[in-house]
Chains A and B, each alone.
Chain A
Amino acid sequence: MSSKIAESAFRSAAWRISLWATIAFALGTLAVFVFLHSFVARDIQRRSDAWLSGEVEVLGDVAERTPKDALYSRVVGEVAELAGREVPNRQAGSTDLNDSVFFLQILPDGSPGIWVGQGDRDVYSQAIRAVHAASGNPIDVWVSGIPIPYRVAADKTRDGSIIYLGLSERDELHVLRELRFRFTVLWAVLVLLGYAIVFSTTRRMLGRVRNIAQAASRIGRDDLSTRVPAAGRNDEIGQLASTLNRMLDRVEQTVGQLHTMTDSLAHDLRSPITAIRGRLESSLTAEDDFDRSEAIISAIDLLDRLTEFLNTSLDVAEARAGALRLNLAEINFEELLRTMIDLYEPSMTEKGIHIVLRTEGPLRLSVDAALMHRMVANLLDNELRHLRPASSVQVDLQLRDGQAMLTVVDDGPGFEESLLPHLFERRIRGRESNGHGLGLAFVDAVASAHGGAATGCNRPNGGAQIRIALPVLACLSHPNKTRGA
């Protein structure tokens, strides 16, 4: 079990992120250290070289000027020993200085002369001869049996002898070793600490993401009402959670609408289907041809109405969901109204209803003409159905504030008060209505699909009023525009 957890930790994004971050950090600091280390090493070398060159020159002078008597080697040796006490980069507490500095004189005949220092003079002189040290810049000399090289400066005196001053690089290397050691310890601590911090932070962050993912998968499986945990913080992950929740709100709302729609559709279909079935059955048992064809005709009529109801239902639902496709074309809306009223006028007259159109002249709109036909037809069908004889309908078209205002008013009984807040909802119909309750919902859906709006009210002095506002310009740039003309 624990190995499983460890395995999943290794595969987690937090592990990978912190691993890469740590590697990058470790390599970066290492590079900086290498640069600093080489800088320090060069500086120490430069300083000890400067000292060596200076001292060897002084010693050369002393060796030249000191008379070659019995005291010669003693004087030179003393001076050399004194010089050795001033070694740069000397380690504190190092009392024994002789093992880090040596002085050697090679006589003109090549044999070793004065020797100040520990160890065997001949071994050192051999080592020096082997590298052909000459006056000039100090060089490294490896003395056999000693693991650390000497830095050796040479000076040629006038009498032909060469004097060498050597300084062990032991102290210098020690300083650098010490530097490396301390750096390594500090570096390891920093890297581990950094890794731990990055790992725990990303783990916590990604833990929140994982919680969101788990909640989301639960939502997909079980229900749509659950929401992902939204942390108080408003960081990227908090925003992710709230965005996801907003999306879920919309999904739940849409699915809810879909449920309501399918439920009400199923319910709405039952009665017409029952009626149609009944008509057809009665056609089978009809006594004579007339009754039989009456039943069938009535069934066909019911089927046509059912089809129309289905289509309108789906159109309204699509428009509500913003998915109604518009075939926009610029038309003269006044002419469209005139044609529609010409179509309805005989039916209105037949019922004793007087209809008038009032416009301010041609008004060009970019609309879906077929939808507009149906919208206006729905409005006029409503009037036909609800008005009593000797009523009148007035259709107004005006251009106001960049909007086309289509107003249909009548002097009939008006809307039932209880319906007023729900006029444009589906399946809302008056008590005496024999319509399918989609007329105004469709009107509203078409208006909003065109970027407009529908409002309805009862007029103070009686009668109903429906007003549709259609934007004149916005229609041209409607996002759902599929085809201009």
Chain B
Amino acid sequence: MRLLLVEDELDIRGFLRRSLEEAGYHVTAASNCGAAERAAVEESFDILIVDLGLPDGDGISLILHLRELGVRAPVLILSARRSVDDRVRGLEQGGDDYLTKPFALAELLARLRNLLRRNAPSVAESARLRVMDLELDLLRREATRAGKLLQLTQQEFVLLEYLCRNAGRVVTRSMILENVWGMRFHPDTNVVDVHIYRLRGKVDGEGRHPLIRTTRGVGYVLKDR
């Protein structure tokens, strides 16, 4: 996957570049709008990460300009502002996504994957999800572990489905909150954790091999190995 990273802060650019390369991306970095435009013209990218505050212009204008130049790849916008302005929302509706600094690396990677998946030719949605001996029937909204039906509430099923779709990848609490409850905020208390504990009790209980693991300091992961 070829990724164009447009970020002027040297520290953040360096750390993102290393982390993204570790995650398997082929990263080209640019520190300003001019360099980003040249890079986008010379090479084609699968995905872009654009910081909003650039020294020679504003990230939104850069994205709009790149679109005019024929760049179709999805963009993940990084913003240092805590609230996102209407123009970013506009882009978000156009299929791009945003992330405010500071962010968890796991969340950045997850959002990149989501953007790439959204852009990929759609594969017929399977009616079933399977992770090891856990199986989800998406039509009947039923989950079984080793063939045994799990007694899940509607909410727990949605949460488990989200974990299954991201099996093997860490998801943060705010990602869970956004994707399962449709809210984008950081609760001050451990509300998400309690939901996970409950779900874990039902999925991993009775001495089964634990699937739902905690990645401390980051979030949760459904093990697929």
B151 interface residue (CB < 8 Å to A): no
Residue in contact with B155 in the complex, picked from A304, A342, A350, CB distance below 8 Å: A342
Cα separation A233 to B201 with both chains bound (whole Å): 79
Q: Chain A residues near B89 (CB, 8 Å)?
A: 327, 483
A325 interface residue (CB < 8 Å to B): yes
Tell me if B191 and A343 are in contact (CB < 8 A): yes
Q: Chain B residues near A346 (CB, 8 Å)?
A: 191, 194-195, 198
Q: Chain B residues near A435 (CB, 8 Å)?
A: 188
Tell me if A344 and B191 are in contact (CB < 8 A): yes
Given contacts A297-B216, A307-B102, A482-B86, contact A381 B186 (CB under 8 A): no
B189 interface residue (CB < 8 Å to A): yes
Q: Give a binary string over B81-115; 1 marks a CB under 8 Å from any A CB, 0 the rest.
A: 01101100100000000000010000000000000
Tell me if B217 and A308 are in contact (CB < 8 A): no
Residue in contact with B188 in the complex, picked from A296, A314, A325, A378, CB distance below 8 Å: A378
Given contacts A346-B195, A482-B86, contact A293 B216 (CB under 8 A): yes
Residue in contact with B186 in the complex, picked from A304, A325, A482, CB distance below 8 Å: A304
Q: Which residue, B82, B86, B190, B195, has most C-beta atoms of chain A within 10 A?
A: B82
Q: Chain A residues near B128 (CB, 8 Å)?
A: none
CB distance from A313 to the nearest CB of B (A): 10
Prevailing SS type, chain A contact patch: helix
Q: Chain A residues near B186 (CB, 8 Å)?
A: 304, 307-308
Binds B, one of A3-11, A166-174, A369-377, A422-430: A369-377
Q: Chain B residues near A339 (CB, 8 Å)?
A: 181-183
Q: Chain B residues near A310 (CB, 8 Å)?
A: 82
Cα separation A378 to B155 with both chains bound (whole Å): 22
A444 interface residue (CB < 8 Å to B): no
- Interface positions, chain B 157-203, Cβ under 8 Å from A, are 177, 181-191, 194-195, 198
CB distance from B181 to the nearest CB of A (A): 6
A57 interface residue (CB < 8 Å to B): no
Interface size class on chain A is: 35 or more
A27 interface residue (CB < 8 Å to B): no
Q: Chain A residues near B185 (CB, 8 Å)?
A: 370, 373-374, 377
Tell me if A347 and B189 are in contact (CB < 8 A): yes
Q: Chain B residues near A436 (CB, 8 Å)?
A: 188
CB distance from A310 to the nearest CB of B (A): 8
Tell me if A300 and B187 are in contact (CB < 8 A): no
A330 interface residue (CB < 8 Å to B): no
Given contacts A314-B82, A327-B89, contact A370 B189 (CB under 8 A): no
Q: Give a binary string over A212-246; 1 marks a CB under 8 Å from any B CB, 0 the rest.
A: 00000000000000000000000000000000000
Cα separation A482 to B195 with both chains bound (whole Å): 35
Cα separation A377 to B216 with both chains bound (whole Å): 23
Tell me if B184 and A303 are in contact (CB < 8 A): no
Q: Chain B residues near A381 (CB, 8 Å)?
A: 187-189
Tell me if B217 and A297 are in contact (CB < 8 A): yes
Q: Chain A residues near B189 (CB, 8 Å)?
A: 347, 381, 384-385
A291 interface residue (CB < 8 Å to B): no
Tell me if B102 and A343 are in contact (CB < 8 A): no
Tell me if B191 and A347 are in contact (CB < 8 A): yes
CB distance from B89 to the nearest CB of A (A): 7
Residue in contact with B183 in the complex, picked from A296, A373, A385, CB distance below 8 Å: A373
Shortest Cβ-Cβ A-B pairs, 4 listed? A297-B217, A300-B217, A346-B194, A311-B82
B-to-A contact residues, CB < 8 Å: 82-83, 85-86, 89, 102, 155, 177, 181-191, 194-195, 198, 216-218
What are 20 inter-chain pairs, A to B, with CB distance below 8 A? A304-B186, A305-B188, A308-B186, A310-B82, A325-B83, A327-B86, A339-B181, A339-B183, A343-B195, A346-B198, A347-B191, A347-B194, A370-B184, A373-B183, A377-B185, A377-B188, A381-B188, A381-B189, A435-B188, A436-B188
A-to-B contact residues, CB < 8 Å: 293, 296-297, 300-301, 303-305, 307-308, 310-311, 314-315, 325, 327, 339, 342-344, 346-347, 350, 370, 373-374, 377-378, 381, 384-385, 435-436, 439, 482-483
6 extra A-B contacts, CB within 8 A, seeds A307-B102, A314-B82, A315-B82: A311-B82, A339-B183, A373-B183, A385-B188, A436-B188, A439-B188
